[in-house]
Amino acid sequence: MAYKKVRLSEREIEKAKKEALRTSIFEGGASSVMTGTSSYFITPYALALKASNLQIGFLSSFVGLIGPLAQLGSSHLMERYSRKKIVIVSVIIQALIWIPIMLLGVMFYFDIWQNLLPLLLIIFYSLHVGIGAVAGPAWFSWMGDIVPEKHRGWYFAKRNKIVEGIAIFSMFAAGLLLDLFKTKGLVFIGFSILFSIGMISRLYSGRLLSRQYQPSLKLRRGYYFSFWQFLGRMRKTNFGKFTIFISLMYFAVAISAPFFTVYMLKELNLSYTWFTIINLSSSVFSILTYSFWGKITDKYGNRFVIVVSSLAIPLVPILWMFSTSKLYLILIPSLIGGIFWGGFAISTFNFVYDSTKQNHRALCVTYNNLLTGIGIFLGSALGGLIANYGIGIASIFGLNIFLFIFLISGVLRLIITIIFIPLIKEVRITKKKPHMLTRELRPLWGFEHHGLHNFRSSHLMHIPFITSKQIGKFEKIFHE
């Protein structure tokens, strides 16, 4: 029996979009439980499997590259399948890959192929990220047709605040659970419980996605352009210059990103609980400022926030060099990193929407992510090589290898910012920029009271996406 496609009225479409915006927040919350209980603890899991510093570097580098490579075919999939179907199938498969990842802990416990387990983890986790990444361009395009342009800054700030609030709770609870099982000599049982929770929550996010309204998308003839065509025009277009900047920035970030975890767990000998608290503090500070950054991007445009945050981000790894005090790490580098990474994430995410047309959006996101992934791959690999072979050079500067890596990363971030930021232009029509930066940033000086009030009231009900991924995807790859 054939069913006719029901044509919705404009009023019904608007109602469906509003409901989809609410559903997306709950879906993001479910997805972030996986991030908080599972993805976030992959590096500690690798260390428990006796991975070397070089293997830790390659874990991050391969993950950073495989995801964007997997997205190359996503636009072609959108020619044959609906965006919803692509996203849901990817989410389900991604969730199920936690099963073989869990089994690696069982194999370690029974002394089966112990030397190969870090390599197998790199393979399975890269597969997990790659499958999930296939959904990225389709989801990005889908959400672009749902969220009103003039409210993007406000909506994604709200969504991120809720999503990361849930992630924070999940991470903290997961850290406590791991410490509990570690004291009993059962750390791999703890990891298995966390990964099971992550798998179930991701499956539930897929169920929520199946209920979310999807506007129709008709790809116009001639919409496609190859990666090589994109590369050929990069230097001539604003979005191309933005992509070069993002790729190089994440190259610099990736040099140090995998080693904050190693530094805290191996060098500072922190418990899983303290490791989690220090990392979560950065996320808390991001959450408290998301609404502020969202309003600023809507008012003055995304470039203004990109400039401000990009000038502060180079300080973050360098500030780790001055003290090993837990309180210092929470109140100085985590505070600065949380505030300005939050602004960077919101502004760069929205800049992509503003700089791309509907028909080209999925392709532009794919190519942007691919080049960023190459940057992450090369940066993480370089960081791993420095960690393995740069101890002698680090000693010349009187630094241990991890602090040396942090210094290199910070200096490179600053150089890249100074060179490329002037090349990027604002594309949104906005109000004039404030004459004095402090005029608009003044609310941040007193964000503790107002922010904590909002945190208590709004985060009880919910919580990336990071990047995962993504994003968020980008910024949440790195907890600094």
DSSP string, 323-342: ---HHHHHHTHHHHHHHHHH
Residues 6+ apart with CB under 8 A from 184: none
Q: Six-digit token pair at 448?
A: 């503790």
382 touches 255 (CB < 8 A)? yes
Q: Six-digit token pair at 402?
A: 């991890």
Domain limits, the chain: 11-217+228-477
Distances (CA, A) of 407 to 14, 255, 394: 50, 10, 10
pLDDT tens across 195-239, in order? 999 999 999 999 999 999 988 776 665 667 888 898 998 888 999
Residues 6+ apart with CB under 8 A from 101: 45, 121, 124, 125, 128, 195
H or E element that contains 23: helix 10-37
> Given this model, what pLDDT does residue 402 score?
95
129 touches 67 (CB < 8 A)? yes
Q: Which amino acid is at 247?
A: S
Distances (CA, A) of 273 to 3, 182, 279: 55, 11, 10
187 touches 178 (CB < 8 A)? yes
72-88 per-residue burial string, b: 16 or more CB within 10 A, e: under 16: bebbebbeeeebbebbb
Residues 6+ apart with CB under 8 A from 228: none
Angle at the Cα of 61 from the Cα atoms of 56 and 67, rounded to 5 degrees: 125
Residues 6+ apart with CB under 8 A from 151: 298
pLDDT in tens, the chain (480 residues): 443 455 777 888 889 999 999 999 999 999 999 999 999 999 999 999 999 988 988 888 888 788 888 888 777 788 788 999 999 999 999 999 999 999 999 999 999 999 999 999 999 999 999 999 999 888 988 998 898 877 888 898 889 889 988 998 999 999 999 999 999 999 999 999 999 999 999 999 999 999 999 887 766 656 678 888 989 988 889 999 999 999 999 999 999 998 998 999 989 999 988 998 998 898 889 888 888 998 898 888 899 999 999 999 999 999 999 999 999 999 999 999 999 999 999 899 889 888 888 777 778 888 998 899 899 889 988 998 999 899 999 999 999 999 999 999 999 999 999 999 999 998 876 666 655 444 444 434 333 333 323 322 333 223 233 333 333 333 333 333
The whole model's pTM is what? 0.74
Q: Where are the beta strands (DSSP E) in 198-342?
A: none
275 touches 264 (CB < 8 A)? yes
> Given this model, what pLDDT does residue 431 score?
63
Q: 469 in helix, strand or coil?
A: strand
> Given this model, what pLDDT does residue 220 score?
63
H helices of 212-265, in order, are: 227-233, 238-256, 259-262
Structure letter (DSSP) for residue 213: -
> Given this model, what pLDDT does residue 221 score?
59
The Cβ of residue 411 has, within 10 Å, a number of other Cβ atoms equal to: 14
199 touches 95 (CB < 8 A)? yes
Distances (CA, A) of 201 to 29, 170, 197, 224, 298: 9, 11, 6, 35, 32
* Interhelix angle 83-96/98-109, nearest 10 degrees: 10
* CB-based burial label for 219 (10 Å; 0-12, 13-18, 19+): middle
CA distance 346 to 344: 6
Classify 11-217+228-477 by CATH class. Answer: mainly alpha
Q: How far is CA 411 from the centre of its chain?
A: 22
> Given this model, what pLDDT does residue 307 score?
95
The Cβ of residue 465 has, within 10 Å, a number of other Cβ atoms equal to: 28
The Cβ of residue 445 has, within 10 Å, a number of other Cβ atoms equal to: 8
